Each structure stands twice: as C-alpha cells, then as structure tokens.
Structure 1
Amino acid sequence: MKLSREIRTYCATCGKHTVHTASVVSVSRKRGKMTAGERQKSRGARGHGGHGKFSKVPVSRMARRSKTTRKIPVKLACKECGKASQRSIGRMKKTEIKR
C-alpha cells in the first residue's frame, strides 16, 4: 500500500489536528541466543523426562496457520511541535511512502 508522505491527524501534544510526516518503522533485530529463556530451554533439553512447555509441537505442524500479512507500524512526527508517535495503520503485505 502506498502511504502519503504527509498525513493530517491529531497531535496529542498540540491538542489539535496538524500535518505529520510519516515514515515506516524498521523492524528491530532478533535477540541473542543467550537470553534467559534460551538458557532455560537448553537446560531442560538434557537428561530424562518430558521438557514441559518446550516439548510442544511447533505451530507450523499444528492445524493453525500463521498470518500472511503483518500490522505495519508507522512513525508520525508533528511538523509544528516535532513530537513523534507510532501508529499501526492496519494489515498490509507491502508498505511504500510516496515521495
């Protein structure tokens, strides 16, 4: 979906509708392999017996399927006060900001 570069929407800081510049927020990096949950998972992976919540079948093998689109977060920065906020503008596969 093509989004316009400038969107007129409500600014909570100014308390009125102003022009905002829109930009797509980049996806953050994945966390490392040494997080607390990953360490807990590796501890439970050794030895005998069931592995609790880590022994469940993956979602890909369940009857459910994952979503085909994702909610795209858009960063809106007010042109008057400069305050920025993030907003999700619905589900879409591709997002492009018009120049």
Structure 2
Amino acid sequence: MRLDEIILTYLDYFNKEKLPYIKCNNCGYVFYYPRAICPKCLSDRLSVMESKGEGEIYSETKFNDGKGEITIVSLIKLDEGFTIYANVIANNPSEVDIN
C-alpha cells in the first residue's frame, strides 16, 4: 500500500471509532504509526488491521485540572503487539491501575 492509501484507511477506521494498526505481510511485524515500509524488514507488503483495543497499561500520568476533572495519559501495549500513548477514558479514574 502507498502511504496516502494507508492514511486514508486510518482515517476511515478513526471515523468508525476503530483503532487501526499495520501488519507487515513479509515478516509479521506490527506497528501503529502510518508508514509505507516496514521498519523491521523494509518490505512494502503491508496491511492495515483493526485492533481489539485491549492490552496492558505500562505507565500512566494523571492530570488534575484543579476543578475535579482528571485526564489519564498512558503507555499501552496492545494485545496485537504494538505500543501507543493514549488518553484513557474511565468512569472512575482512581480505579485505573498499571498492570
């Protein structure tokens, strides 16, 4: 896939509230950030996949705006094998723990 095709596919996933990632069809490496070649084997045989959105939190930072609103930013390793930084949405932020 060309980079513009990958980006358009990502935007389509985001519009459907889905989390995309890329899998190299040559070596099997998975990664999140849109690229036209695999950073491991340099192949251009890539597929955009949909993540289940499940994984483990490795690190987190909680920000309090002083008005009671808490924002949580976490480093998350997804079950598919790639890692992202993301805002964590939780009904009770005090219950979000690092695994």
TM-score by length of 1: 0.35
Highest Rg: 1 or 2?
1
Q: Choose between structure 1 and 2 for higher RCO, CA contacts under 8 A separated by at least 6 residues.
A: 1
TM-score by length of 2: 0.35
